[in-house]
Amino acid sequence: MRLAAAILVSVGAIALATAEPAKQAAPKAETKGTPKAEKKAEAKGDAKPAAPPTATKAKAAASKAATKGDKGGVAKAIIDSYGAIPLAERIAIQSDLVWTGDYNGLVNGEFAERAVAAVKAFQKRNGGKETGVLNQPERAALAAAAKPKQDAVGWRIVEDAASGARIGIPGKLVPQQSAIIGGTRWASARAEYSVESFRIAQPGTTLAAVFERMKKEPAGRKADYSVMRDNFFVISGLQNLKKFYVRAQARGEEVRGVTVLYDQAMAGIMEPVVVAMSSAFLGFSAAAAPPPRRKVEYASGVAVGTGEIITSREALEGCHVVTVAGIGGADRLAEDKANGLVLLRVHGASLKPAALGAAAPKGEVTLLGIADPQAQGGGSAVSAARARVSDALALDTPPAPGFDGAAVLDAQGKLAGLVSIKPAVVAGPAPATNAALTPVEAVRALLDAQNVGPAPTAVTGTEAAKAAVVRVICVRK
């Protein structure tokens, strides 16, 4: 099967966009599968083409739209809707759209024309109204559609110690890991697939020299697509009888990159994976910083006593004032840094505590929380969502923003633990809602240490337990 033009265009567009976060790739060009057509398509995806396009007026208009950031055709209301969603969640949506095959543009959380069109394509395919903005059920459906594709290839993000790069690895396809000179190699047992990281850091190293060399080496490599910009390059083509893709990034006299090699017969499996790998790659991840914390942040909490509430320590990091919606100010009673929990005490209120379960469950659970009012679909009411707990206590379905510290109920309707959401690294599409279960054993240990015993009025069951869930508001200076 010939190297598909679609994957070259989409991989190239994502590679360009990932390295140049201020620019938006142009809509995917229609090509005939020739290298010449592919290069024209890539030129139009660049926000500053090397030369004016010589195609039709329609193509010129597409190029002009890309130069302007591709926002012209998107209603301000839609842009404002996405602006209210936390950046980490916007990145997660774009990443999921990559896996569902709806999006092959910039994964940076900016929702311009191409990203909104991808949302509409997903909505249309799923029989929904093409609004361009996902409601909560649609967001859950998108995550559910992307997750099996990720699981099928064993998708994970690794910080490669040998090269220093952050790389997306399809672990089930390349389970064998070994050290190589200047990097790491992941491969399948019969070598149908392989992924190799590399790091070149010799005095006098330049991106241009590495670029020219890698277009021709090793022997048998024939590049039919290549592009270099200020600090990165992308090369793809055939290497003997296999397809290859190289992406690298430079800083000073150092170049870090990744090479993907796979049999042509496996293109159907690998092409969408390569798109995801391109958007996930970050050569110098140490430079990435966590997103700045908001001045006002919303989380969920669970009453565990008549005046005690337990919630996520991460959500309350750096708070100047902590309040509980409808009740008032809350005092920090104790915290458990190891498990990311904090115990609050409120005064003048009689809470309805949730009954504690026996142990953290595996399998299906119910999440009870209050969505962030600044996020799409947010409100003030307690809402329920379903999720599955893995052996590693990860939650497979990303909960809504504001669910950090939410209740996790077991099959008996008792508190099995809390939702814990780690902050995302902005510089790439690693899962933005890295959600896990903080087990009830940790909750019980913290309560025992503070002599907070079981409440006789503790409630059980999904509907009853909603009364135990509160909104916790963190105000920072």
Site of tokens 């399948």: 188
- Name the band, by pLDDT with cuts 50, 70 and 90, for residue 245: very high
- Answer yes or no: do 261 and 207 share one domain: yes
Which of 86-95, 267-276, 406-415 shows the lowest mean pLDDT across its residues?
Answer: 86-95
CA 247 – CA 12 distance, rounded (Å): 10
What digits encode the pLDDT tens for the residues 267-281? 888 988 998 898 888
- Answer yes or no: do 127 and 183 share one domain: no
pLDDT at 312: 92
Tokens read off for 61: 């208009």
**In the predicted structure, residue 73 carries a pLDDT above the cut 70:** no
- Name the band, by pLDDT with cuts 50, 70 and 90, for residue 310: very high
In this structure, what CATH number is given to the domain that contains residue 198? 3.40.1000.10
- Tell me what the mean pLDDT of segment 209-213 comes to: 95
Tokens read off for 184: 């790491």
- Answer yes or no: do 300 and 349 share one domain: yes
What digits encode the pLDDT tens for the residues 254-269? 999 999 999 999 988 8
- Answer yes or no: do 259 and 117 share one domain: no
- Answer yes or no: do 121 and 177 share one domain: no
- Tell me what the mean pLDDT of segment 35-46 comes to: 39
- Backbone φ and ψ for 114, nearest 5 degrees, come out as -70, -45
294 or 132, which is more confident: 132
456 or 39, which is more confident: 456
Could you list the residue range(s) of the whole structural domain that residue 224 is in?
154-288
In this structure, what CATH number is given to the domain that contains residue 345? 2.40.10.120
Last residue of a domain, one of 124, 153, 182: 153
**In the predicted structure, residue 30 carries a pLDDT above the cut 50:** no
Dihedral of the alpha carbons of 334, 336, 340, 341, in degrees to the nearest 10? -40
CA 421 – CA 400 distance, rounded (Å): 10
What order do you get walking across the sheet with 331-336 strand by strand?
Answer: 328-329, 321-324, 469-475, 296-303, 308-312, 341-345, 331-336
Pairing type for strands 166-170 and 254-263 reads unpaired
Q: Domains in the chain: how many in total?
A: 3
Which of 86-100, 235-249, 282-296 shows the lowest mean pLDDT across its residues?
Answer: 282-296
Percent of the chain scored above 90 by pLDDT? 47
pLDDT at 84: 81
Which of 380-384, 398-402, 411-415, 473-477 shows the lowest mean pLDDT across its residues?
Answer: 398-402
Site of tokens 């209050």: 370
Last residue of a domain, one of 119, 136, 153: 153
pLDDT at 328: 93
**Residue length of the chain:** 477
pLDDT at 105: 72
pLDDT at 58: 35
Chain-wide mean pLDDT for the chain?
A: 80
**In the predicted structure, residue 28 carries a pLDDT above the cut 50:** no
- Name the band, by pLDDT with cuts 50, 70 and 90, for residue 40: very low
- Name the band, by pLDDT with cuts 50, 70 and 90, for residue 101: confident
- Answer yes or no: do 327 and 405 share one domain: yes
123 or 60, which is more confident: 123
**In the predicted structure, residue 178 carries a pLDDT above the cut 70:** yes
pLDDT at 294: 78
What digits encode the pLDDT tens for the residues 363-394? 899 999 999 887 766 678 999 999 888 877 88
- Answer yes or no: do 300 and 160 share one domain: no
- Answer yes or no: do 101 and 229 share one domain: no
- Answer yes or no: do 80 and 52 share one domain: yes
- Answer yes or no: do 167 and 207 share one domain: yes
CA 246 – CA 465 distance, rounded (Å): 52
- Answer yes or no: do 405 and 270 share one domain: no
What digits encode the pLDDT tens for the residues 341-371? 999 999 988 899 999 998 878 889 999 999 9
330 or 50, which is more confident: 330
- Answer yes or no: do 411 and 438 share one domain: yes
Residues whose CB is less than 8 angstroms from the CB of residue 289 and which lie 6 or more positions away in sequence, other chains included: 425, 426
- Name the band, by pLDDT with cuts 50, 70 and 90, for residue 205: very high
Tokens read off for 261: 């090699």
Last residue of a domain, one of 153, 170, 204: 153
